[in-house]
Amino acid sequence: VHASDGTHRLYERLADELAASIQSGALRPGDRLPSVRSLSRQQRVSVSTVLEAYVRLENQGLVEVRPQSGHYVRLRRSLLEEVAEPRAARPSMTPTKVSIRERVMSVYGAVRDPGVVQLGAAYLSPELLPAEKLGRMLGAVARSAPGIGVSYDPPPGFAPLRRLIARRSLDWGCRLAPDDIVTTVGAIEGLQLCLRAVTKAGDKVVVESPTYYGMLQLIESMGLKAIEVPVRPRSGIDLDALQQVLRAHRVKACLLIPNFNNPLGSLLSDADKAHLVRLLSEREIPLIEDDIYGDLYFGAARPRPAKAFDRDGFVMLCSSFSKTLAPGYRVGWTAPGRFRAQVELLKFVNTVGTPTLPQMAIAEFLETGGYDHHLRRLRRVLEAQVEQFRAAIVEHFPEGTRISRPLGGFLLWIELPPRADAFELHSRALERGISIAPGALFSAKQRYKNCLRLSCGFAWSERFERSIRSLGEIARSLERRRAM
């Protein structure tokens, strides 16, 4: 290392310059620093000088290394650790006729507009998905098996795909057989078929509170009644509360998201999953389990679905490739346990079959496309993005804002100070070209008026920074107005 002047070594000067950029905000938490080689070329210093500079920044706690990815400006973990999480909900657990459709439509009218910053809907931007590779595979399977591609594929669905899903299920402790599985048009069709197989109009169904509004829309469209049971922000549905409900009501099904509940990102422990399955099986109540976010864990291992604890076939597992590969391909599946024959029949009645070519392309991707490699990368990116969004919210939102700490997925649930109205925030944000999901969409009783869900499914950029700042400004102004 050469001394650049009497006191400062070259690597120290380089590190100090980078530190100044971090302090000034030119480089923000979560930003990637230039690669060692490109910085060495640009600054005309040796690779080892850059490496030493990066080590110095690491020792100062300003930079962190992410394996196989590079050097990043460290997130302000101390600040993020201090932010309070949303309070556990205490909904009144009485059956409710759901009426949410119009509210959902009023919010999602804006989602198709490409000019709007999409923080509301839970989907990943195409650049995080292997869109081109999938497209090539779609073309290749269509050419190589044109007859199969244009033919009906009646239930239970494309056999190679079912076999590959069954093989993957061994990794989650499920040991599904290909014939346990029926493919569906997205997870949403699976959820609907399972509900139809085990309920009729007027029946009572347990959902989490808050829960994905798609569940509430299904319940509404089928004339069912929802009973909301609270979800603890990190550890999932409150089983004591569920037991109370089971004692008080004749529940016909539970429709739950044990792995990374939408919107909270909470995760039910294995012990709780086993307990949940036992509680329901004893009463012969089907558990319709939505595991659509299960592969997007931030922890060390893929969490098991509740289905892994199912001995009597009362768990009806549903998932899809919408959150990991291609929502537009609409390929999902269900393993409906002892209700498989009914579900298969309903599937035939509903849509005859799942479109053949997308199933073939996804099967090809699972077989040869490096799905696990893609998932590893996606998980790393999403975890960093979630932290990035959280950091920006901490910075820009009003004092007293609470933010979820999801354990997987890419959604954040935000509780504003009590007086703020998230529907108003939604309307005002839309005027500035930003869409969000107001909290009242996530409850049959339209609670959570001061909450909202944000999606972190797009790569962090200046545009999102500006949008979060705008949302924070609007939230502050709403709060001030209410306070007057």
Ligand X SMILES: Cc1ncc(COP(=O)(O)O)c(C=O)c1O
Enumerate binding residues for ligand X (CB under 6 A).
122, 186-188, 212, 214, 257, 262, 290, 292, 320, 322, 327, 332
In whole angstroms, the minimum distance from the beta carbon of 109 to ligand X comes to: 17
CB of 38 to ligand X, least distance (A): 38
* Least distance to ligand X, CB of residue 184, Å: 8
Q: Which is nearer to ligand X, 322 or 443 (CB)?
A: 322
Minimum CB–partner distance for residue 139 and ligand X (Å): 23
Q: Which residue is nearest to ligand X (CB)?
A: 186
Residue closer to ligand X by CB (options 107, 257) is 257
Q: Please choose, from the candidates 246, 232, 233, 197, the residue with its C-alpha nearest in 3D space to the C-alpha of residue 218.
A: 197
Closer CB to ligand X, 138 or 188, in the complex: 188
Cβ(437)–Cβ(120) below 8 Å: yes
CB neighbour list of residue 479: distance below 8 Å, 6 or more residues apart: 398, 416, 417, 419, 420
CB of 186 vs ligand X, minimal distance in Å: 3
Based on CB atoms, which residue is closest to ligand X, 187 or 391?
A: 187
CB of 329 to ligand X, least distance (A): 9
Residue with smaller CB distance to ligand X, 199 or 320: 320
Q: Which is nearer to ligand X, 272 or 290 (CB)?
A: 290
CB-nearer residue toward ligand X: 190 or 417 = 190
Residue 293 vs 423, nearer CB to ligand X: 293
Least distance from C-beta 189 to ligand X, angstroms? 7
CB of 213 to ligand X, least distance (A): 9
- Please, what is the minimum distance in Å from the beta carbon of residue 240 to ligand X? 24
Q: Which is nearer to ligand X, 322 or 388 (CB)?
A: 322
